[in-house]
Structure 1
Amino acid sequence: MAGKFELYTDAAGKFRFRLKASNGQIIATGEAYESRASALKGIESVRKNAGDAALDDQSG
């Protein structure tokens, strides 16, 4: 089973998403969005850009 995005509302009523691995572990979370449509655009951006994104290691 592939990972999945979960779209939800937080305690403040903002829209958020999280990406879960196939084992159920959360591997990424999105920021708070004012609208559902904006959160869905955030998910689409991750889908589009994450596959070939470069690593910028700033850990020192």
Structure 2
Amino acid sequence: MAAKFELYTDESGVHRFRLKASTGAVIITSDPYETQEQCLKSIESIRKAAPYAKVAEATAAAPA
């Protein structure tokens, strides 16, 4: 089984998606979207951007 995006409506009634690995493990859970169309647009954006996405290590914020 390949990885897959799952669309769902959460308990508060907003649309979300999760990306599941081929093992069934959840890799990503989205922010909430008001419409399913917005959710689908976000998935397409990820599909287009991911092949070019760089990996960068985050640095800790300097103490105040």
- Relative to the length of structure 1, the TM-score reads 0.91
CA RMSD across the alignment: 1.1
Structure 2's unaligned 5+ residue stretches are none
Paired AA for residue 38 in structure 2:
S
Percent identical residues:
52
**How many residues end up aligned between the 2 structures?**
60
- Aligned residue for 2:57, secondary structure, equals coil
Structure 1's unaligned 5+ residue stretches are none
The 1-side partners of 2:33 and 2:59 are apart by 28
- Relative to the length of structure 2, the TM-score reads 0.86
Runs of 4+ in 1 over 2 A off after TM superposition: none
